[in-house]
């Protein structure tokens, strides 16, 4: 962004068909050697209200075809909770930023202040700033990566777990709410969301309004992931899925059409664990289905790369 203050039988049949497709990016088809994969690097961002955010970035492999992905952890977590996910997604060609949201991990310093931010003591307004400031700052950086030809911002994805899912939904709605100006668009870049154990309310922020935004209801491809042995988490995920399914087609007559056109998924797994804790369960298959969703809804879609300039400066 520019600087601004089912698991149902049919669903698994579809992804079973996708298993027959390569989940590799075009770069992988060129047989990139392991030693050619760029090393991850620590990146710093300073928000408009002075919070110094820390993240680890895994550079993409496909240049202007690279899908940029931002990983948002759970409450009390940090960017290390994603375990092997960043490396797995990077090997698919994607550019992956694992971020410590404010008050978490190493994102606790505020410019000009000696007191550190602590997620356990932050008021609700600081959680709102996660999507109003933290994500906007990250978007500005990703735009510079786009203009350098290292990612395609038009294929942006946000993956959030529990609290991170609340932040992801609110920011996606915000990204699509910016008006298009004569000099160019300011947002409308988030094309996919993966919501792991999403919650309706968290620490004073809610998704009630954002989840009803037109872009969420009709445009942004969404994969909802939940451990079905937790009744409360399952109920929330089903409710969100049902709402999003109200204005889009979810079932098609032909399997080939289903593979090509389905853009909303509810993936339920046999575990009571939620959020990034699900990644600790061996052979759950969650990572593979996430990769297939990204290929289906982003890699294989025609979202042409464009150089982006600040329309406010035109």
CB 28 within 8 A of CB 92: yes
The first and second tokens of residue 34, run together, are 């392991």
Indicate the helix (H) or strand (E) that contains 224. strand 221-227
Distance set, CA 245 to CA 13, 22, 193, 212 (Å): 19, 28, 15, 11
What is the arithmetic mean of pLDDT over 284-309? 95
**Residue 109: which pLDDT band, with cuts at 50, 70 and 90?**
very high
Q: Which residues share a beta bridge with 158?
A: 70, 193
Go through the chain and tell me how many residues it has.
Answer: 314
Sketch the domain layout of the chain as residue ranges: 9-302
Using a 10 angstrom Cβ sphere, with 0-12 exposed, 13-18 middle and 19 or more buried, the burial of residue 42 is exposed
pLDDT tens, residue by residue, 16-68: 444 444 444 444 434 455 668 999 999 999 999 999 999 999 999 999 999 99
Which token pair is 312?
Answer: 């406010």
CATH topology of domain 9-302: Rossmann fold (3.40.50)
Flag whether the pTM goes above 0.85.
Answer: yes
Q: In this predicted structure, what is the pLDDT of residue 6?
A: 38
């Amino acid at each position: 962004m520019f600087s601004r203050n089912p698991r149902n039988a049919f669903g698994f049949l579809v992804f079973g068909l996708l298993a027959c497709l390569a989940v590799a990016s075009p770069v992988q088809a060129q047989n990139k050697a392991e030693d050619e994969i760029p090393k991850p690097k620590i990146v710093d961002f300073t928000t408009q209200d002075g919070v110094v955010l820390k993240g680890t970035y895994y550079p993409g492999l496909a240049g202007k075809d690279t899908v940029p992905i931002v990983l948002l952890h759970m409450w009390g977590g940090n960017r290390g909770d994603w375990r092997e996910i960043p490396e797995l997604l990077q090997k698919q060609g994607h550019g992956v930023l694992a971020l410590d949201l404010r008050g978490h991990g190493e994102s606790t310093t505020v410019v000009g202040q000696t007191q550190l931010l602590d997620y356990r003591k932050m008021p609700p307004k600081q959680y709102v700033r996660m999507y109003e400031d933290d994500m906007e700052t990250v978007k500005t950086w990703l735009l510079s990566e786009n203009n350098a030809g290292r990612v395609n911002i038009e294929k942006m994805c946000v993956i959030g777990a529990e609290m991170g899912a609340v932040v992801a939904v609110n920011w996606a709605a915000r990204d699509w709410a910016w008006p298009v100006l004569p000099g160019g668009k300011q947002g409308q870049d988030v094309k996919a969301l993966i919501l792991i154990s999403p919650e309706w309310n968290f620490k004073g922020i809610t998704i009630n309004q954002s989840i009803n935004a037109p872009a969420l209801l009709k445009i942004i491809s969404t994969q909802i992931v939940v451990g079905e042995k937790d009744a409360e988490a399952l109920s929330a995920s089903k409710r969100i899925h049902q709402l999003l399914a109200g204005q889009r087609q979810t079932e098609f007559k032909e399997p080939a059409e289903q593979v090509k056109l389905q853009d909303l998924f509810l993936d339920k797994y046999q575990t009571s664990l939620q959020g990034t804790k699900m990644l600790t369960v061996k052979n759950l298959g969650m990572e593979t289905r996430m990769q297939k969703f990204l290929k289906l809804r982003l890699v294989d879609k025609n979202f042409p790369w464009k150089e982006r300039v600040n329309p406010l400066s035109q």
